């Protein structure tokens, strides 16, 4: 993979909502957010102007949750902190396709699969996931054997595409049911998604919590390298 300007990754939420995901955006002045049924994230840009935080408060409403993802700017002191989670942003520098586990059948997940996707997220907690999050991009899954050998059983693992700044696509919602771990399902799904992203001329990237050392090691084995340390922050509007 060749060189690519990664500056758009400083504000991947704003860059996505200003481009590929503009149809999912809600705006007020300098502030922008996703349709709340799709994603929780908001942005005021890398260097917000003096009115940006009032714009965001107006967009979200009083006393509402503001998920600022990895925004480097901090809101005024009257905004109540909800959480801060240290993490890393990684970009894939070389393509790695792990061998598929024996008998693995990968399926694309659609609207009919949303209840199972939400249930798997509830069990595994990979990060924010809403009823319409799958509209952000392609989601792949692995199902168990439903008894007929056709992979029509329960959803065991999934991964999908989320943020989409120009030239990049984020891999997200990587999760595996506890009873299916240790089989390489997540590695294969991430590798498959990354290959699809690269095939259309884009660069895969992702985010991981700093404390999730197991996931970080997996992504590094798949050719991802750290681009930046980030802090995921949430606040309550005044």
Q: Is 80 left (phi over 0), alpha (psi -120 to 50) or beta?
A: beta
State in Å, rounded, how far the first CA of the chain is from the last one. Answer: 45
Give the pLDDT confidence of 122-160 residue by residue, as tens digits. 999 999 999 999 999 999 999 987 644 555 789 999 999
Given this model, what pLDDT does residue 204 score?
Answer: 98
Q: What is the pTM of this model?
A: 0.93
Please, what is the average pLDDT of the chain?
94
Given this model, what pLDDT does residue 188 score?
Answer: 95
Given this model, what pLDDT does residue 108 score?
Answer: 96
Given this model, what pLDDT does residue 151 score?
Answer: 58
**Angstrom distances, CA of residue 134 to CA of 45, 113, 114, 215, 237:** 25, 10, 8, 22, 27
Give the pLDDT confidence of 16-25 residue by residue, as tens digits. 999 999 999 9
Given this model, what pLDDT does residue 6 score?
Answer: 93
Q: Which residue has the higher pLDDT, 188 or 145?
A: 188
How many Å apart are CA 211 and CA 129, to the nearest integer? 20
Give the pLDDT confidence of 10-53 residue by residue, as tens digits. 999 999 999 999 999 999 999 999 999 999 999 999 999 989 99
Give the pLDDT confidence of 73-115 residue by residue, as tens digits. 999 999 999 999 999 999 999 999 888 777 788 999 999 999 9
Tokens matching residue 160:
């999908």
Given this model, what pLDDT does residue 50 score?
Answer: 87
Given this model, what pLDDT does residue 195 score?
Answer: 96
Among 141, 215, 140, smallest CA distance to 177 is for 141
Asked if pLDDT for residue 2 goes beyond 60, the answer is no
Given this model, what pLDDT does residue 72 score?
Answer: 87
């Amino acid at each position: 993979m060749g060189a690519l300007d990664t500056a758009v990754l400083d504000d991947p939420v704003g860059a996505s909502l200003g481009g590929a995901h503009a149809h999912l955006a809600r705006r007020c002045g300098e502030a922008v957010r996703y349709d709340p049924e799709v994603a929780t994230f908001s942005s005021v840009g890398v260097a917000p102007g003096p009115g940006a935080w009032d714009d965001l408060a107006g967009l979200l409403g009083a006393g509402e949750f503001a998920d600022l993802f990895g925004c480097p700017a901090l809101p005024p002191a009257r905004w109540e902190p909800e959480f801060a989670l240290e993490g890393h942003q990684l970009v894939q520098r070389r393509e790695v396709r792990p061998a598929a586990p024996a008998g693995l059948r990968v399926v694309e997940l659609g609207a009919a699969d949303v209840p199972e996707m939400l249930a798997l997220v509830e069990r595994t907690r990979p990060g924010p996931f809403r009823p319409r999050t799958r509209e952000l991009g392609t989601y792949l899954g692995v199902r168990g054997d439903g008894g007929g050998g056709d992979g029509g059983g329960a959803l065991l693992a999934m991964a999908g595409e989320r943020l989409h700044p120009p030239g990049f696509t984020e891999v997200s919602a990587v999760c595996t049911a506890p009873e299916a771990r240790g089989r390489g399902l997540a590695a294969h799904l991430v590798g498959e998604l990354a290959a699809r992203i690269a095939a259309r001329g884009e660069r895969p990237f992702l985010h991981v919590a700093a404390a999730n050392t197991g996931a970080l090691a997996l992504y590094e084995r798949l050719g991802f390298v750290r681009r930046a340390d980030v802090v995921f922050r949430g606040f309550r509007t005044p």
